[in-house]
Structure 1
Amino acid sequence: MHEDEWGEPGGGAPSEEHRDRHELSPHQGSGEQEIEASLRPRKLDDFVGQPRVREQLQLVLHGALGRGEQPDHVLFAGPPGLGKTSLAMILASELSASIRVTSGPALERPGDLAAMLSNLAPGDVLFIDEIHRMARPAEEMLYLAMEDYRVDVVVGKGPGATSIPLDIAPFTLVGATTRSGSLTGPLRDRFGFTAHMEFYDSSELSEVIRRSARILGVDLREDGAEEISRRCRGTPRIANRLLRRVRDYAEVRSDGAVTREVARAALEVYDVDELGLDRLDRAVLGALARFFNGGPVGISTLAVAVGEEQTTIEEVCEPYLVRVGMLARTPRGRVATAAAWRHLGLVPPEHAVGAGTGVVVDTEPSLFEE
């Protein structure tokens, strides 16, 4: 969900922001971007949550600054919306350095990367979002740049091709990935520090929401912040998105104050329930329970049943549904747990996972299973 403080540039395969990107006019788009920029913390001390990562990053930065050296290359890994881009911006700010921002899918050819690297000034920060999606030739050029601050530019083709070494200024590479397992070993090993981002708890999200409310000038009451934080799926990006939508409701249909009652009414309008599930999440669970008796059912069949792309179900819905214990993935397909049945207001069958009957769903794959 690409709208807020911790927003991260990216594209390509459907991801969490896939269902929340709105069609905006150029004027509206610039306004949204200004809001995003205003909500981003500028210093490491202002960053909410991720205490372990903040402590580790602070040691990396202050240690390098104390020695007068260029900091090691940094990799931020974790689900979307947890603050990877914000930390990259903070890192550059703490170093008093300029930052160049790009993304893995944009670096299709080695020449694209070579042009960007050759324009870096000493001490600059290069931020590559979705770094696991870089083209392999560009990634191999990056190896030498990270280790020796040099790139080899190949001129010509065939037997007459020559390699020209090009020195580049010392820089710090900051990579962000939502799929650390997709990174190649040689690239992952060249990062001096890897930070693993964790989901936020309700108290941390409440603090994020209160901070954003102060910046946006929202009259936010404590019970309103708590209500919103419970529905944010552990993600600051979603917290800020919901805060802005609740603010709209409060200003249009109430007196402008965001209380628990106002937050509940607003989020009901926007189809966000008390656990943070939206229309698509409930459609997936409903299809499993009502059409397939709880499963197991193959992912492609489930996608057809709810009218969505398979990748959307896998990358947008499943991670959270599995995390809250409403969906189980088995070799034979997806299964709705007893908690999912109850959340939908249905009575779970005896064979449902977690129904307390002692009956376990058969997880052995069949010959014709998807």
Structure 2
Amino acid sequence: MARETVLTQESASEDPKRDAALRPKHLREVIGQQAAVQRLSIAVNASKKLREPLAHILFDGPPGLGKTTFATVLPTELGVSIQMTSGPALSKPADLLPFLTNLEEGSILFIDEIHRMPRVVEEFIYPAMEDFRIDIVLGDGMNARTISMNLKRFTLIGATTRSGMLSSPMRDRFRIHEHLDFYTVPELATIVRVNAQKLGTQISDEAALELAQRSRGTPRIANNRLYWVRHFAASESDGIITLPIARAALEMAEVDRDGLDKQDRRYLETLLGVFGGGPAGVEAIAATMNLPADTLSDEIEPYLLREQFIVRSPRGRIATPRGFTAMGHTPRDLSSPETLPRLF
């Protein structure tokens, strides 16, 4: 179900051309994820010196942390081309053939949401990843024959938000596996300042820090916040993003100091007001909010869990003291004897 404010429609409001304009072009321009940047820099340098294709790479982590950014930066570093597709677009092996047969020596094939690739396609790509060849079956039954076709040496880069859904044989074929973590507030503030400069918008350090604190540790959300505040400043002021302007814009978008949006607060109010802070099952909460349960578990709960506004127990979701405080309620003592049996 769509969120109600412009600012919280992260996936629906993405503009590919806009995102591409804000993405760094080289590894040295990447802000945050420095351990991954260092390891990838070594892999790129080795690939150039050894004149070998870059090893296959799997990026995993929550949405918006830079998996696609890394995939688009690496071809620039190597001076090679890239082809891009996604797991849901590859419903059968034939869908993958045009990408594989058009590969150039050392080029990159990027598959987003690779965990959603059907098993038959996954098995088809195994020999391509290992031996740079594919086996094509022609005909049926007794007349069937297999043709082996050699491919140019290439690098497969996969991106996934659920690496556990990949089969072990598939994961093992990626020699480099990078997990991307959430960004710190100072890192996000730097990203906001750099991207504001790319957009030709003046922003104060205090305003950049305010946006960063309300961006859930995610660059994609920080960029969406920046665009909204930029539009607000252009409409309601002189176009310069100051701290008062940033706060006024974010309050209008119903994003609070903790990064909670309208749906997050509605979830917490339901858990606290209807279920007394829990424990309550996600299905019961979803029915009360008139939302699908998977919307709660996939879109709303991850941030509330990560920031410890709620916890999961065998009996359901329970609001933490921070969750109570955020909604202006008196925290419940979770260590009291009458509460512990309900938690475990």
Q: TM-score, structure 2 length as denominator?
A: 0.94
Deviation (angstroms), 1:20? 3.2
CA deviation vs aligned residue, 1:199-245 (integer Å, no higher than 9, x gap)? 10011001100000000011101110011010010000000100010
Deviation (angstroms), 1:21? 4.2
- Which residue is 2:35 aligned to? 52
- Which residue is 1:170 aligned to? 153
- Which residue is 2:340 aligned to? 360
The answer to whether the aligner puts 1:153 opposite 2:133 as a matched pair is no
In the alignment, the residues of structure 1 paired with residue 78 and residue 137 of structure 2 have an alpha-carbon distance, to the nearest angstrom, of 33
- Which residue is 1:34 aligned to? 17
Q: Which amino acid aligns with 1:363?
A: L
Q: Which amino acid aligns with 2:150?
A: D
- Which residue is 1:112 aligned to? 95
In the alignment, the residues of structure 1 paired with residue 159 and residue 8 of structure 2 have an alpha-carbon distance, to the nearest angstrom, of 18
In the alignment, the residues of structure 2 paired with residue 33 and residue 81 of structure 1 have an alpha-carbon distance, to the nearest angstrom, of 13
Deviation (angstroms), 1:360? 2.3
In structure 2, the gaps of 5 or more residues are: 1-6
The answer to whether the aligner puts 1:220 opposite 2:203 as a matched pair is yes
Match of 1:164, SS state, is: strand
CA deviation vs aligned residue, 1:340-359 (integer Å, no higher than 9, x gap)? 11100111334xx3xx6464
Q: Which amino acid aligns with 1:320?
A: Y
1:326–1:336 Cα contact (<8 Å) kept: yes
In the alignment, the residues of structure 2 paired with residue 314 and residue 305 of structure 1 have an alpha-carbon distance, to the nearest angstrom, of 15
CA deviation vs aligned residue, 1:60-104 (integer Å, no higher than 9, x gap)? 110111111111001111111010100000011111111000001
1:64–1:70 Cα contact (<8 Å) kept: yes
2:311–2:319 Cα contact (<8 Å) kept: yes
Match of 1:151, SS state, is: strand
Match of 1:48, SS state, is: coil
- Which residue is 1:271 aligned to? 254
1:77–1:196 Cα contact (<8 Å) kept: yes
In structure 1, the gaps of 5 or more residues are: 1-16, 24-28, 365-370
* % same residue: 42
Following TM superposition, the consecutive aligned residue runs of length 4 or more in structure 1 with deviations greater than 4 angstroms are 356-359
1:313-352 to 2 correspondences below 5 Å: 313-350=296-333
Match of 2:343, SS state, is: coil
Match of 1:258, SS state, is: coil
Match of 1:144, SS state, is: helix
- Which residue is 1:244 aligned to? 227
Number of aligned residues: 337
- Which residue is 1:43 aligned to? 26
2:56–2:176 Cα contact (<8 Å) kept: yes
2:214–2:259 Cα contact (<8 Å) kept: yes
Match of 2:232, SS state, is: helix
Match of 1:170, SS state, is: coil
1:114–1:153 Cα contact (<8 Å) kept: no
- Which residue is 1:103 aligned to? 86
2:10–2:224 Cα contact (<8 Å) kept: no
In the alignment, the residues of structure 2 paired with residue 45 and residue 349 of structure 1 have an alpha-carbon distance, to the nearest angstrom, of 48
- Which residue is 2:111 aligned to? 128
Q: TM-score, structure 1 length as denominator?
A: 0.88
In the alignment, the residues of structure 1 paired with residue 57 and residue 156 of structure 2 have an alpha-carbon distance, to the nearest angstrom, of 6
The answer to whether the aligner puts 1:64 opposite 2:47 as a matched pair is yes
2:236 to 244, 249, 253: 253
In the alignment, the residues of structure 1 paired with residue 118 and residue 108 of structure 2 have an alpha-carbon distance, to the nearest angstrom, of 21
Q: Which amino acid aligns with 2:222?
A: A
CA deviation vs aligned residue, 1:159-204 (integer Å, no higher than 9, x gap)? 3322211111110000111111111100100111111101100110
- Which residue is 1:211 aligned to? 194
- Which residue is 1:26 aligned to? none
In the alignment, the residues of structure 1 paired with residue 298 and residue 12 of structure 2 have an alpha-carbon distance, to the nearest angstrom, of 19
Deviation (angstroms), 1:18? 8.9
